[in-house]
Chains A and B, each alone.
Chain A
Amino acid sequence: KRSSKQKDEL
């Protein structure tokens, strides 16, 4: 599962 800090990129 992707962590929140891995979801911060456009």
Chain B
Amino acid sequence: MNIFRLAGDMTHLLSIIVLLLKIQATKSCAGVSLKTQELYAVVFVTRYLDLFYSFISLYNTVMKIIFLLTAFTIIWYMRKHKVVCQTYDKEQDTFRVLFLIVPCFVLALLVNHEMSVTEVLWTFSIYLEAVAILPQLVLLQRTKNVDNLTGNYIFMLGSYRALYLVNWVYRYFTELGYRQWIVWVSGTVQTCVYLDFFYYYVQAWRNNERMKLPG
């Protein structure tokens, strides 16, 4: 474990906590894409199957369980909570997620480290995570309202993978033979998807004004 990866994991955890707090405190999920939350739940389920058969460390196990539980809690709030579910923008959150899931699954069948069920599902989760934020970014463009907490959530979610990029560079130079091409390429694509958002987020922060997205 290195400081970049720990910072990445903590940023990821913090992003989820911020979203949960926003939903719990304001009893509203306005501006939040349920599709992105469901895609992330799929990412965690398909990636953390090894919870059942391999123990890596207490930290690894605890974090996986936290990510799974928080992902399903957010989905429960947005689908079932009597007050919160009324604030969900169903008409605007219309991204066709099958156009993300099917290509990622086909790619995982074609490009993977090993042709086994768990390995293909793990690879699928790596590809899917790279595009899971798209429904959320599209929703932001449509609704224009980027409330502060949702903006912070997306910024931290993008930042965690950028910190992982630094972690991979660090490990490449410090651990002989450490290679993870699939994860590296996918993680780079994932970070690039956020670049446009980062630009407008930092601009709003510098001008100390509410974040607004172009027309």
Contact = CB atoms under 8 A, between A and B. Distances in A.
Contacts of A10: 9, 12, 60, 63-64, 67
A2 B113 contact: yes
A7 B114 contact: no
A5 B56 CA distance: 9
A3 to B, nearest CB: 8
Interface string B49-62: 01000101100100
A9 B59 CA distance: 10
Interface string B122-134: 0000000000000
For chain A, the bracket of interface size reads under 10
Nearest to B167: A9
A10 B64 CA distance: 7
A5 to B, nearest CB: 7
A9 to B, nearest CB: 7
Interface in B158-213: 164, 167, 175, 178-180, 183
Interface of B: 5, 9, 12, 50, 54, 56-57, 60, 63-64, 67, 113-114, 119, 164, 167, 175, 178-180, 183
